[in-house]
Structure 1
Amino acid sequence: MSDVRPPRSLRLSRAIAAAQAPVLLAQGRQLRRDTPRLPDAPLPWSGTVEPSVPDVEGRASRPLHLLVIGDSTAAGVGVDHADLGLGGRLAEALARRTARPVHWRAAGRNGATAGDLVKHFAAPALDEPTDLVFLTVGANDALALRSTRAFRRDVRRLIELTFSEHPQAALLMSSLPAFFRFTLLPDPLKRSLYRHSQALESEARTLVDAHPRAHMSPPPPPYTDGFFASDDFHPSALGYQDWAEFAVDDAFSVGFDRLLGDA
């Protein structure tokens, strides 16, 4: 665990946003008026992906149980079938890398913060068999300018809930969106939102890095053409695929697959 404090601009991200509040609020209202509101992917948010090549070590009969928990990205906003959303795409990437079937399910809500996940979704979702939790949260905490202290508390609680219910599970947490690359966001809203998201991410990364069975993805690479859905905010089917492959490839590059071997 690192004891290095984040840069001062991140520690003061809420104060800087408060000073810009009149402009930011006006830009936020305009953005909500102009941006189409896409629906969640239709239910069910669950499925099974079979490996295309069996595992030569004989593990193919032992499926991995994947839980994706989070906000609109867990809900599959941006695609018209949950298999094309984050849960289904992560299952595809995991089945390909592990040569094991992946039973996946998603829980959460469009607009959910980390606090919402703690209060309403984590406990019931973790009641089911779980080998790997993929946590995708923080964008709405940044949009709501939640404090780093509150976000850290909620992420800590999500980690605690995961491992108290499933001590041999593994947890992957996504980095927060690179808001500075979102073309629909005007300045200074874009800069302010990205600054605060990085302050939140710094807090979460410290917690995740401290746990031996958890890993947080690095900041994402530049978004490819076609990454975004029609609202220019949520991922498309291609975007979810890019995201899932990036997250799984990174996790396996640091030996995360050894943790899945326990499952």
Structure 2
Amino acid sequence: MTSKLLPRAVVALTVLGAVAGGAAYGARELLRHQAAQARRAIGKPLGEVAPAADRHYKKKYGAPVDLLVLGDSIAAGLGAERPEHTLGGRLARGIAKGAGRSVRLRTAAVVGSESSMLAAQLASLPRAYRPDVAVIVVGGNDVTHRVPVADSVRHLGEAVEALQERGAHVVVGTCPDLGALRPVPQPLRTLGSRASRQLADAQRTEALRRGARVVSLAHVVGPFFITNPDEMFSLDRFHPSAHGYKRTAKAMLPSVLAALDVVEDVPYGHHAPVVGGSG
């Protein structure tokens, strides 16, 4: 390149860099505005406390199964109007019916939790508590708070290992597809969908590596939320309704029953570890 052409090339690159930088800044500002818009649209009409569903289900069946549920607002059951309609309540009743055993439900999930908060949920349990099966659903808040995927899955893996040390079989429901959230405008919704699916894939890989069973929620229940949002979402159009939890629990139940050795075959979207672990 000649000395005359070099300054022109430098000027051109500088201009292109400025344009690209301006476009990136504009995109960031658009997404920030859309995120604020979505938060205002969703609000908190449900509050931050889910119905208290912990109790001994179908006690007359005997031979109790101790079921532990950890994770975020979906795991806690925010959006359900009655305790028995929460994810834990639905799973407890499904296990009782499928296994013919009573179920003692304990919910350690906390509304608003990220994967990093699973350790605190575990720490809140009595040291002598030994669940037969533990269900984890977490990840949505990691995506909305832009937590690095590597950090999210590391915390998930540590929680799976800690539960196994307590003797529990573990079933992980991966991050739902945030593309189903209609109050979130485009292009933010598409970016959220992509990020949630990336996290879900990483969660599946890590959980299976740790020996947990995995249910890909975006595959087994996501289509219902996309095609029937009025029925599947609660008042805030963000958390599941009673019907949404019914569908989610029904979708997860085969892997929970398989972890308890009640069934062997599981449908599409369910994944079992190749060797060892919980299942």
Query: TM-score band, normalised by the shorter chain?
Result: 0.7 to 0.9
Q: Which consecutive residues of structure 1, in runs of 5 or more, have no partner in the other structure?
A: 1-16, 55-59
* 1:189 positional shift: 0.9
After superposition, what is the alpha-carbon deviation per residue over 1:159-212, rounded to whole angstroms, capped at 9, x for unaligned?
Answer: 11111222xx21111121122222222111111111111221122111221244
Moved more, 224-233 or 238-247: 224-233
CA distance in 2 between partners of 1:75 and 1:28 (Å) = 24
One-letter amino acid of the structure 1 residue matched with residue 233 of structure 2 = F
Contact 2:51–2:78 (8 Å) recurs in 1:
no
* 1:43 positional shift: 5.6
Give the number of equivalent residue pairs.
234
CA distance in 1 between partners of 2:155 and 2:25 (Å) = 23
In 2 relative to 1, CA 86–18 (structure 1 residues): closer, same or farther, beyond 3 Å?
farther
CA distance in 1 between partners of 2:40 and 2:125 (Å) = 34
Contact 1:41–1:82 (8 Å) recurs in 2:
no
Moved more, 217-226 or 64-73: 217-226
* 1:19 positional shift: 8.5
Moved more, 62-71 or 219-228: 219-228
TM-score relative to the length of structure 2? 0.76
Whether 1:23 aligns to 2:22 is no
* 1:250 positional shift: 4.9
1:34 is aligned to 41
Whether 1:240 aligns to 2:245 is yes
Whether 1:149 aligns to 2:150 is yes
Task: For residue 240 of structure 2, give the secondary structure of its aligned residue in structure 1.
Answer: coil
Contact 1:49–1:95 (8 Å) recurs in 2:
yes
Whether 1:170 aligns to 2:169 is yes
One-letter amino acid of the structure 1 residue matched with residue 213 of structure 2 = H
Q: Which has the larger radius of gyration?
A: 2
1:181 is aligned to 180
* 1:156 positional shift: 1.2
Task: For residue 80 of structure 2, give the secondary structure of its aligned residue in structure 1.
Answer: coil
CA distance in 2 between partners of 1:242 and 1:153 (Å) = 29
**% identical equivalent positions:** 26
1:61 is aligned to 62
CA distance in 2 between partners of 1:18 and 1:260 (Å) = 53
One-letter amino acid of the structure 2 residue matched with residue 256 of structure 1 = A
1:124 is aligned to 124
CA distance in 1 between partners of 2:171 and 2:263 (Å) = 11
One-letter amino acid of the structure 2 residue matched with residue 151 of structure 1 = S
Greater per-residue helix proportion? 2
Task: For residue 74 of structure 1, give the secondary structure of its aligned residue in structure 2.
Answer: helix
CA distance in 2 between partners of 1:96 and 1:187 (Å) = 42
In 2 relative to 1, CA 259–98 (structure 1 residues): closer, same or farther, beyond 3 Å?
closer
2:233 is aligned to 228
* 1:126 positional shift: 6.3
* 1:98 positional shift: 0.8
Whether 1:258 aligns to 2:261 is yes
CA distance in 2 between partners of 1:246 and 1:187 (Å) = 29
In 2 relative to 1, CA 82–39 (structure 1 residues): closer, same or farther, beyond 3 Å?
farther
